[in-house]
Amino acid sequence: MRIQTLHEQGYGAKAILTAYPQNCWKLSTVKNTCMHVDHQAQQLNKAGSGRLKSAHSDTNITHVEELICSQEGQSSQHFSTHEIAAKLDTSD
C-alpha cells in the first residue's frame, strides 16, 4: 500500500527505495508494483470498468472502516476482503 501511494504521488522506484531503506525492498519488487499500479489506473479509466457505484456508498465505506478499526491490536485476528464483502453482502 505504501509503494502504491508513493508511486501515485510521483515517486519512482529508486526514490521509493531511498525513502524507505529500512524495509529492505528489492528494486525489482518496487518496479513491478509500480507497473501494476499504472496498469490498474489504465484499466479503471476504461468505460464500464471498476466496481459498481453501489459498492462505494457512504454506508458501505463506514461499515468497512468500523470492521477494520475493530480489529486493531489483534494481530492474528483480521477479516479478509472476502469476509468483509460477505458481512456487508456486497461483491468483492
Mind listing the pLDDT tens digit for each residue in 45-83? Answer: 666 655 665 566 777 778 777 777 766 666 666 777 787
Contact 16, 7 (CB under 8 A): yes
Q: Looking at 3-7, 35-39, 46-50, which range is the least confident one?
A: 46-50
Q: What is the mean pLDDT of residues 13-22?
A: 88
Give the predicted TM-score (pTM) of the model.
0.42
pLDDT of residue 92: 47
- What are 4's three cell numbers? 502504491
Which residues neighbour 87 within 8 Å (Cβ) at sequence distance 6 or greater? 63, 67, 79
**Does 90 have pLDDT greater than 70?**
no
Q: Where are the domains of the chain?
A: 2-44, 53-88
Percentage of the chain with pLDDT > 70? Answer: 71
pLDDT of residue 11: 87
